[in-house]
Chain A
Amino acid sequence: MSKVKIQGHASGTGVLTVTAPNTSTDRTITLPDSTATIATTTDVAARLPSITDNGNATAITINDRENVGIGVSPKSWNNNMEALQLSSAAAFVGSTGGNGETARMLQNFYNSGAAELYIQDGYACQYNQSSDNGKHTFFTAPSGSADGTVTWTNLLEITNDGRGLSQFTAKAWANFDGSGTPSFSDSHNFSTITDNGSGDWKLNFTNNMANSNYSAATANSVRSGAARNIVAGVGSYATSGVTVLVETSDGDSADQSGISVIVFGD
């Protein structure tokens, strides 16, 4: 069959209406059985089709909550989530609610509104970007059964001000010079250094630790001569800061340059 072009009169609106003889709503356009290309025109390039369908099975399904599934019928997601579900394995979700707007990349679970449930047997993970506080959060869940409730563990947060909150990222670190008026050469999550006396400094955290059971390691630069017997160590641990002491092998306090501190913990 050759192409048929129907063009409205210049004085008309360009609307083409197909009207059935029995009712004003019973309107059908039947396309050829095998293949069809809709709205292809060679005279108006801007109207060339942006979607070409060569599929032979249902590829995209939209359910009654407007969740979209690719290669899968999407789950019935929480009403405050717009979900693009990719097979049973993954979903990209935009959610609104108590914690503001969040972009979520999810693996093997969905939010039904009542609970977060495994889609199929196995592990589940999620990565969130929150507009409420601008942070990135990574969660994991143990292996579970399909339709079972997911229990999350928050493994890592990256805060908007650049801190990594986890068991495996340094909460704070510094390289400081305590040989005169103390000063930081560089630091992360320390707001101030307090000179308490010879070889005695408290480094105050910008953001306090949750408790004083954290781990802090100190190091002194390699020295020669008598100065090689000078050691740096932690004097005390507080949620507000860590105290670093430097002493000679005789136990005398000593000011030093090139001292490093690194802190891990909660």
Chain B
Amino acid sequence: MAIIYDNGGTLAQMIPAPKFLATLTGTEEEKLIHIANKDLPTGTPYEITDEDLSDRTFRDAWEYVAGADEKTSEDLSLDDQLKYNHITQEEYDADEG
């Protein structure tokens, strides 16, 4: 499964690293939602797809079209932001305080 989204008019697909995926818990979709929240800018519309996108013909002409299952990336929890080094310990402490 992959996460697809619009990247400046072209479709981008994000594929998880198996080692990282193995560290997550939950269903496959829950894991990918966590990954979208982690690796996409907050507020990015995206979809989770299991479509085979290995045929690279006209790759640079692919476009993202929103479907019925479109989601939007959200902020990670403060704990996860600290864990993934998105914020410093000082920023974490300030937000917690």
Give A contacts to B, CB under 8 Å: 161, 174, 180-184, 186-188, 190-198, 204-210, 240-241, 253, 255
Determine whether the beta carbon of B14 is less than 8 Å from that of A194: yes
List B residues 11-41 near A (Cβ within 8 Å).
12-20, 23, 35, 38-39
| A180, closest chain B residue (CB) | B54
Is B2 an interface residue when CB atoms closer than 8 A count as contact? yes
Residues in A whose Cβ lies below 8 Å from that of B38: 191, 204
Determine whether the beta carbon of A207 is less than 8 Å from that of B10: no
Number of interchain pairs (Cβ within 8 Å): 78
Determine whether the beta carbon of B19 is less than 8 Å from that of A255: no
| B7, closest chain A residue (CB) | A196
**30 A-B contacts, Cβ less than 8 Å apart?**
A161-B23, A181-B13, A181-B54, A183-B15, A184-B17, A184-B18, A186-B19, A187-B19, A188-B19, A190-B17, A190-B20, A191-B17, A191-B38, A192-B17, A192-B39, A194-B12, A194-B13, A194-B14, A194-B39, A196-B7, A196-B10, A197-B10, A197-B60, A198-B59, A204-B39, A205-B85, A206-B17, A206-B84, A209-B85, A255-B56
Residues in B whose Cβ lies below 8 Å from that of A207: 83-85
Q: Which 8 A-B pairs have the closest CB atoms?
A: A180-B54, A208-B85, A191-B20, A207-B85, A204-B39, A194-B14, A181-B54, A197-B60
Question: Could you tell me the distance between the alpha carbons of A253 and B18 in the complex, rounded to whole angstroms?
Answer: 26
Residues in B whose Cβ lies below 8 Å from that of A192: 3, 14-17, 20, 35, 39
| B87, closest chain A residue (CB) | A208
Question: Could you tell me the distance between the alpha carbons of A188 and B2 in the complex, rounded to whole angstroms?
Answer: 20
Instruction: Tell me the dominant secondary structure on chain B's binding face.
Output: mixed
Determine whether the beta carbon of A191 is less than 8 Å from that of B39: yes
Residues in B whose Cβ lies below 8 Å from that of A194: 7, 12-15, 39
List B residues 46-97 near A (Cβ within 8 Å).
52-54, 56, 59-60, 83-86
Determine whether the beta carbon of A193 is less than 8 Å from that of B59: no
Residues in B whose Cβ lies below 8 Å from that of A196: 7, 10, 12
Q: Shortest CB–CB separation between residue A55 and chain B, in angstroms? A: 49
Question: Could you tell me the distance between the alpha carbons of A206 and B34 in the complex, rounded to whole angstroms?
Answer: 12
Residues in A whose Cβ lies below 8 Å from that of B15: 181-183, 192-195
Question: Could you tell me the distance between the alpha carbons of A183 and B15 in the complex, rounded to whole angstroms?
Answer: 7
Determine whether the beta carbon of A195 is less than 8 Å from that of B13: yes
Question: Could you tell me the distance between the alpha carbons of A208 and B84 in the complex, rounded to whole angstroms?
Answer: 6
Q: Shortest CB–CB separation between residue B41 and chain A, in angstroms? A: 9
Most chain A CB within a 10 A radius of its CB, from B10, B15, B35 = B15
Determine whether the beta carbon of B16 is less than 8 Å from that of A198: no
A197 CB contact (under 8 Å) in B19, B20, B35, B59: B59
Question: Could you tell me the distance between the alpha carbons of A196 and B35 in the complex, rounded to whole angstroms?
Answer: 17
Question: Could you tell me the distance between the alpha carbons of A210 and B91 in the complex, rounded to whole angstroms?
Answer: 13
